[in-house]
Amino acid sequence: MLRWTIAGQKIIENSKAACGFAMLPVPIAMVARKTDSRITLILLRPNRSASWNDSKRLVILLTVPLGLIAVFWSFAGVWMILPFAGLEAGLLAFFMYRVSHWTYQQQIIRIAPHTVRVEIRGRQNKTVKFPRTDCFVEFVDSENDWPLPRIRLVASAQYLEIGQFLNLRDRQQLREDLSSSGLPVCRRQWWKS
């Protein structure tokens, strides 16, 4: 029996024996966990509060009035505003595209009895494997609690930082999910709760 859990609550049950994300409906959450008797899958995604279509609508909503104002001023004789209005609209569209494209990345952590595999999908597609016996989670708090804590998977001489795009609550949920999956969690500042 496979089940998705988000923040400790069971939300979907499915009796298929597959362990792939493509076969099950994926819940919309930043940190989601799916477990069966031997394998745990943890899906990490950034907050995508606006889709690419929403971003395009916002760009159009902001550039139409900008274009109308620029055309009005060009008819009034101030034609020098047209290149700057075009530059402003172009930069707005470019940065909205980049932010929207960045939100479509995801990290999949597969914890099996002998290996821990992290698949990073998005701008860069790569897979990193760790031996389960040597692998632990390093939770790195900052000295002054201003920056967000970092979460790293560490084994032997290699490490991989995961969940860089998560907020504080989701990083804490990720730490709890990794700990409940059987990976030891080490903190540099162990005296903090």
**How many domains, in total, are found in the chain?**
2
Is the model's pLDDT at 32 over the cut of 80?
A: yes
Is the model's pLDDT at 18 over the cut of 50?
A: no
Domain that holds residue 98: 52-102
Return the pLDDT at 15. Answer: 36
Beta partners for residue 162, in sequence order: 151
Is the model's pLDDT at 88 over the cut of 50?
A: yes
Are residues 35 and 23 part of one domain? yes
Higher-confidence residue: 52 or 2?
A: 52
Residue that terminates a domain, selected from 37, 71, 102 = 102
Residue 193 resides in a domain: no
Is the model's pLDDT at 12 over the cut of 80?
A: no
Model confidence band, residue 42 (pLDDT cutoffs 50, 70, 90): very high
**What are the pLDDT digits (tens) for 121-144?**
987 789 999 999 889 999 888 777
Rounded Cα distance, 127 and 80, in Å: 51
Are residues 129 and 34 part of one domain? yes
Region 178-183 average pLDDT: 90
Are residues 39 and 115 part of one domain? yes
Are residues 170 and 113 part of one domain? yes
